[in-house]
Structure 1
Amino acid sequence: MFSLEIMAPDRVRTALLRTLGSVLEPTRVAPGCRSVRLFADLDRRKALVLVEEWELREQFERNLDASKLNAIVGAIELSGEPPVVRIDTVEREEGVDVLGLHRSAADSRVR
């Protein structure tokens, strides 16, 4: 998982959305990309968060070409504030059935 959180002051918000948005489709069709999304944080109105999920780290690294890096650096420069960049390795994934297990456990504690 790769994530980039960047502050988008009102005066450059449209330009930041356009800049970060330009990497979405090329990333989405890249080999190994599971998903890529650009979010606006509702709690912190000026924060934009780009999140990419990859099958393998090597596929993520191959996707970091000059064009994408230039777009990301350009977005950071527009923001004028340091970004929060994270690369997280996911060891195990679980789905919605985990919620059912927790719900069953919570129901048994209530009784």
Structure 2
Amino acid sequence: MIVFSMQIVPPDEMRTALLRSLGSMLGPTRVAPGCLDARLYADLDKRRAILLVEEWESREYFKLNLDAAKLNAIVAAIELSSEAPVVRIDVVEREEGVEALAFDGARPAGSVR
């Protein structure tokens, strides 16, 4: 699985337009072949960061979805960031759920029973 993420901090006057622009990509991305999920998060603290996260079955599907229009929107968002953007493409080899938190009957030191 491939996880693409981009975190930017736009200037206040560009925030709404940028949320609309990135948000408009979610629908087409979610129905694209190989897309497992696509989400846009808005941090409401004083940094006001925006985080775009896409999960893909494979690198090939991720690359197929990067057409010129989408790539231009991503680059434009990065260029608007008032802080250094964080752009990542992570390869996930194994995924675990909440069951991974089980401690086989043992609890970490200081935990509440």
Question: 38-47 or 9-18: which moved more?
Answer: 38-47
Give 1:102's aligned amino acid. Answer: F
Equivalent residue letter for 2:100: V
CA contact (8 A) 1:19 1:74 kept: no
1:17 aligns with 2:19: yes
Counterpart Cα distance in 1 of 2:51 and 2:108: 35
The yes-or-no answer on 1:40 pairing with 2:51 is: no
Distance in structure 1 (CA, Å) of the matches to 2:46 and 2:53: 17
- Which amino acid in the other structure matches residue 105 of structure 1? A
Within 2, Cα distance between the matches of 1:32 and 1:107?
38
2:105 maps to what in 1? 104
TM-score by length of 2: 0.84
Cα distance in 1 for partners of 2:81, 2:109 equals 49
Gaps of 5+ in 2: none
Aligned-residue RMSD, C-alpha = 2.3
CA distance in 1, matches of 2:49, 2:110: 39
Q: How many residues were matched structurally?
A: 110
2: distance between equivalents of 1:108 and 1:50? 36
Q: Report sequence identity in percent.
A: 65
Alpha carbons of 1:107 and 1:2: their partners in 2 closer, same or farther (altered >3 Å)? closer
The residue type paired with residue 96 of structure 2 is: E
Query: Equivalent residue for 1:69?
Result: 71
How many angstroms does 1:33 deviate by? 0.4
Mapping of residues 85-104 of structure 1, within 5 Å: 85-99=87-101, 101-102=102-103, 104=105
Corresponding residue for residue 27 of structure 1: 29
2:7 & 2:109 partners in 1: Cα distance? 40
Go from structure 1 to structure 2 and tell me whether the alpha carbon gap of 1:83 and 1:104 turns closer, same or farther (over 3 Å shift): same
